[in-house]
Amino acid sequence: MADDNTPENSGYHALATLLESIEVGLVVIDLDYRVKVWNGFMENHSGMTANRIQNQSLFEAFPDLPKTWLTRKVQSVVTLNTRTFTSWEQRPYLFRFRNTRPVTGTEEFMFQNLTISPLTGTGGQVEQVCLMIYDVTDVASGRRALEHANEQLERLSSTDRLTGLLNRGTWENLLDAEFERYRRYGHNTVLVMFDIDHFKQVNDTYGHLIGDEVIREVARITREALRQADRPGRYGGEEFGIILPETDIDGALVICERIRETLATTVIHTDDGDIRCTVSMGLVQLTDEPENYMQWLQQADDALYQAKEGGRNRSVAIRP
Ligand SMILES: Nc1nc2c(ncn2[C@@H]2O[C@H](COP(=O)(O)OP(=O)(O)OP(=O)(O)O)[C@@H](O)[C@H]2O)c(=O)[nH]1
């Protein structure tokens, strides 16, 4: 009988205790996926005791495991006798454990990195494999928060803060892209420039803050009148542009008149009283004439100027 007090045994005992209490999941399975070792981390997070799962098939005990994927990974570890590593970015988790971290409590489940190592027997053959599961929820949730913040930053830098429409830079890039698309495919496309009439009076009478409210309301009504593919943008102070892809000049005129009439009949309620405003619009369907998008823009601006000259609160369309 072995003497429990030999230095070898006490060393082994210390090691076993360490593996039992380490903050990493340790699972040893044989080549039939029967569980041989299941440490404290796994017990705590799965609710399954080592005694219960001992010698059970891993896939029977955890039917939700990605069987095909894990089998392929384990097979390659066994065949090549080398370890493999999978990060949470490739696969967020192997075992779906609830996230119990206090700081990253907003994450629903535990993100995991996984290492699969071969365990060889005395003959040098791989007889078992060891799965090591690392809880990387803190890292993953930090990274995800950063990505989320970057997305928001990206959105903010492409939109106008007052109206939420595309800002001038982004909108002009789209206009340039639409111009190139026309050159290649020749699809109908219309550019609209419009501007709030006598806006200076609104500012002078009510002040800049109320003026801003009016600009915001004009943007909201415009956005609501358009389709998903249409691209409204805030070009300058009280000047807006709309790109209407796959639209001819008659269709564009219908859309613009709808926006113009809606605005003309809308009362904007502000803290300083009710305000009405009108807009003038210039529309131009793209032809082969402009050599670049800036010339196309100039044509629309000329049409807008004609609408102002013609008495405002109207749309002027330049036909192809
Ligand atoms: N509140 C506010 N006013 C702005 C903003 N940007 C430009 N403006 C004002 O918009 C007014 C534009 O005036 P004008 O270019 O003379 O044109 P208008 O009074 O609208 O007259 P027409 O366009 O000829 O009908 C100016 O008073 C600008 O100060 C802004 O972001 N907020």
The pLDDT tens digits of the residues spanning 37-57 come to 999 999 999 999 999 999 999
Segment 204-209 shows an average pLDDT of 94
Q: What is the pLDDT of residue 154?
A: 77
Using CA of residue 133, residue 138, residue 143, residue 149, what is the dihedral sign? positive
DSSP type of residue 167: P
Q: What angle do CA 122, 127, 133 make, to 5 degrees?
A: 120
CATH no. of 159-318: 3.30.70.270
**Ligand 1 and 178: CB distance under 6 A:** no
Say whether pLDDT at 241 is over 60.
Answer: yes
Q: What is the pLDDT of residue 78?
A: 96
Ligand 1: residue of 199, 202, 214, 272 to mutate (most ligand atoms within 8 A of CB) is 199
| 2 pLDDT tier (thresholds 50, 70, 90) | very low
**Ligand 1 and 319: CB distance under 6 A:** no
Gap between the Cα atoms of 128 and 111, Å rounded: 25
Q: Calculate the average pLDDT of the chain.
A: 92
Segment 185-196 shows an average pLDDT of 96
Please give the distance, rounded to the nearest whole angstrom, from the Cα atom of residue 298 to the centre of ligand 1.
20
Segment 82-103 shows an average pLDDT of 89
Segment 19-35 shows an average pLDDT of 94
Gap between the Cα atoms of 263 and 253, Å rounded: 15
Segment 268-289 shows an average pLDDT of 95
Amino acid letter, residue 257: E
**Ligand 1 and 230: CB distance under 6 A:** no
Bridge partners (DSSP) listed for residue 87: none
Ligand 1: residue of 167, 168, 203 to mutate (most ligand atoms within 8 A of CB) is 203
The residues, ordered by sequence, that sit 6+ positions from 254 with a Cβ below 8 Å of its Cβ are: none
Segment 238-263 shows an average pLDDT of 97
**Ligand 1 and 310: CB distance under 6 A:** no
Q: Are 314 and 307 in contact (CB under 8 A)?
A: yes
Q: What is the pLDDT of residue 310?
A: 97
Please give the distance, rounded to the nearest whole angstrom, from the Cα atom of residue 211 to the centre of ligand 1.
9
Please give the distance, rounded to the nearest whole angstrom, from the Cα atom of residue 237 to the centre of ligand 1.
6
**Ligand 1 and 220: CB distance under 6 A:** no
Segment 263-271 shows an average pLDDT of 93
pLDDT digits over 297-316, tens only?
A: 999 999 999 999 999 999 99
Please give the distance, rounded to the nearest whole angstrom, from the Cα atom of residue 252 to the centre of ligand 1.
25
Taking Cα atoms as reference points, which of 123, 126, 121, 8 lies closest to residue 74? 126
Q: What are phi and psi of 195, to 5 degrees?
A: -150, 140
pLDDT digits over 119-175, tens only?
A: 998 888 999 999 999 999 988 888 888 888 888 777 778 999 999 999 999 999 999
Q: Does ipTM surpass 0.85 in this model?
A: yes
* Among protein residues, the one whose CA lies closest to atom 6 of ligand 1: 237
Gap between the Cα atoms of 50 and 48, Å rounded: 7
CATH-assigned architecture of domain 7-144:
2-Layer Sandwich (3.30)
Q: pTM of whole model > 0.80? A: no
Q: What is the pLDDT of residue 1?
A: 43
Q: Which residue spans of the chain are classified as CATH 3.30.450.20?
A: 7-144
Say whether pLDDT at 85 is over 80.
Answer: yes
Q: Which residue spans of the chain are classified as CATH 3.30.70.270?
A: 159-318
Q: What is the pLDDT of residue 7?
A: 64
Please give the distance, rounded to the nearest whole angstrom, from the Cα atom of residue 215 to the centre of ligand 1.
10
Bridge partners (DSSP) listed for residue 281: 194, 315
Nearest atom in ligand 1 to the alpha carbon of residue 280 is 25
Helices (H), 189-292: 199-206, 208-225, 249-265
Segment 267-285 shows an average pLDDT of 94
Using CA of residue 86, residue 87, residue 88, residue 89, what is the dihedral sign? negative
Token reading at 187? 């699809």
* Among protein residues, the one whose CA lies closest to atom 16 of ligand 1: 200
Say whether pLDDT at 5 is over 70.
Answer: no
* Among protein residues, the one whose CA lies closest to atom 4 of ligand 1: 237
